[in-house]
Amino acid sequence: MRAVAVALAFLALPALADWTSFRGDAAMTGVAKDPLPAVLAPRWTFEAGDGFEGTAAIAGGVVYVGSLDGRLYALDLATGKERFRYAAKGEIKSSPAVDGGKVFFGDEAGTFHALDAKDGKPAWTFVADGAFTSSPTVAADARGRKLVLVGSYDGALYALEAATGKLAWKLETDNYVHASPAVAGGKVYVAGCDGFLRGLKLEDGSEVVKVPLGGYTAATPALAGSRAYLGTFENQFLAIDLAGAQVLWRYEHPERKFPFYASAALAGEVVIVGGRDKLIHALDAASGKARWTFDTPARVESSPVVVGGRVAVASKSGDLYLLGLADGKSQWQYATGSALAASPAVADGWLVIGTLDGSVLAFAAEPKGASQ
């Protein structure tokens, strides 16, 4: 009986999940499925030819990350050893997405790439009229067709067939599309530099929701139920009712008036977001009132990740933190020595992040016997 109980308890444990895209899932919630150890230890460092602005993807024990040196690197998660590198056409600021055995990402020269995730061989490319800084999202439509959704600085949101790269549909906006698209309930939501949040049918790209934000945005909307959460360059953070196509509340710090560039993370009743005001803000999801703020030494352009009862956040000061979700108090801190603009990727008990001086840093539990 005891063996059966142990077996049932094991089966009840949640399966480990990868971090396959910019915010961890198609709804862009910024929530990690796997726990992190109470204290993280640096485990390995990888050096590239230039800095990292995009967030790593972690899938199948491999870290995929694009660099400003124009290369996509595949690194072994356990050791940091390079598995392959792929030369793109320009700088890579787009965070990769991994799905169906392929790695998808764009470059600043306007080329979007699909690679074999095992060996880095190109599967297909797609060329737009502007840079791909937006990170891709992969989702299946009602017919089961896998689409890769990504915005471009040519002002368009593209839906490409994941298998072939063929254009399925295209939406033209009135300005750059810097943010990444979020998907939920058969709809795609994208915010643009034209100051609108749009909701589209995933199958054909037809517009069903259009909400004015009161300012342009680079932030990716985070979705929960019928709501979207995102910040703008007008120093405000918004909650939007998607069903009613209206803004529910606006948050603005009473003293520090700076833009919200980073994307938010969602944790039930709390929304976490970093600002260029150097603060991490925890807001009540229902009312928009501040629950707590955490001060960092520099502006925050990195997007936070909720992991269990903590929040992983990074500042351009080079400081990496784990904060208590309930109170915002620092539970762990690490000084990387270089500015951080990329966001953490969390999977399998690991935290991986790239720095602007060209390093990829990986943290996990300290190996057994290491302190002896």
Separation CA 116–CA 104 (nearest Å): 9
pLDDT bin (cut points 50, 70, 90) of residue 6 is very low
Q: What is the pLDDT of residue 10?
A: 25
pLDDT of residue 9: 29
According to the model, what pLDDT value does residue 4 have?
28
Question: What pLDDT shows up at residue 367?
Answer: 85
Query: Residues 291-301: what's their mean pLDDT?
Result: 98
Mean pLDDT of 2-16: 32
Percent of the chain with pLDDT over 70: 95
pLDDT in tens, 129-177: 999 999 999 999 999 999 999 999 999 999 999 999 999 999 999 999 9
In this prediction, residue 47 carries a pLDDT of: 98
Average pLDDT, the chain: 94
Position 301 scores a pLDDT of 97
Give me the pLDDT at residue 369, please: 67
Assign 296 a pLDDT band (cuts: 50, 70, 90).
very high
Predicted local distance difference test score (pLDDT) of residue 15: 41
> What local confidence, expressed as pLDDT, does residue 172 receive?
96
The per-residue pLDDT for range 96-125, each reduced to its tens digit, is 999 999 999 999 999 999 999 999 999 999
- Read off the pLDDT of residues 19-48 as tens digits, 9 standing for 90 and up: 999 999 999 999 999 899 999 999 999 999
Contact 134, 155 (CB under 8 A): no
**What are the two backbone dihedrals, phi and then psi, of residue 8, each rounded to the nearest 5 degrees?**
-65, -40
For residue 14, pLDDT over 70 is answered with no
The mean pLDDT of 262-282, rounded to a whole number, is 97
Residues 52-81 have pLDDT tens digits of 999 999 999 999 999 999 999 999 999 999
